[in-house]
Amino acid sequence: MKKNMGTADRVIRLVLAAIFAALYFTGTVTGTWGLILLVLGGIFVFTSVISFCPLYTIFGLSTCPVKQHGS
């Protein structure tokens, strides 16, 4: 897997995951919506840790900075 997520993207996903977890565990969002947020937060954490988003690959996106040779 080639990395396709930049640092800012990874940080944003981790912050959102923390917010989703807080909303769920404080009981602010419960039931099906709470579980959806919890799963989505888990996916955000996982993709941030590995710096790879499968959806980015499907749509040909990348937020990873391009490294130039010889610099």
Provide the terminal-to-terminal Cα distance of the chain, rounded to the nearest Å: 24
Q: In this predicted structure, what is the pLDDT of residue 66?
A: 75
Q: For each of the chain's 71 residues, which pLDDT tens digit applies? A: 889 999 999 999 999 999 999 999 999 999 999 999 999 999 999 999 999 999 999 999 999 887 656 55
Map out the domains of the chain as residue ranges: 7-59
In 10 A of CB 30, how many CB atoms?
11
Residue labelled with tokens 């930049």: 6
What residues have CB less than 8 Å from 8, skipping those under 6 apart? 63
**57 and 9 in contact (C-beta within 8 Å)?**
no
**5 and 47 in contact (C-beta within 8 Å)?**
yes
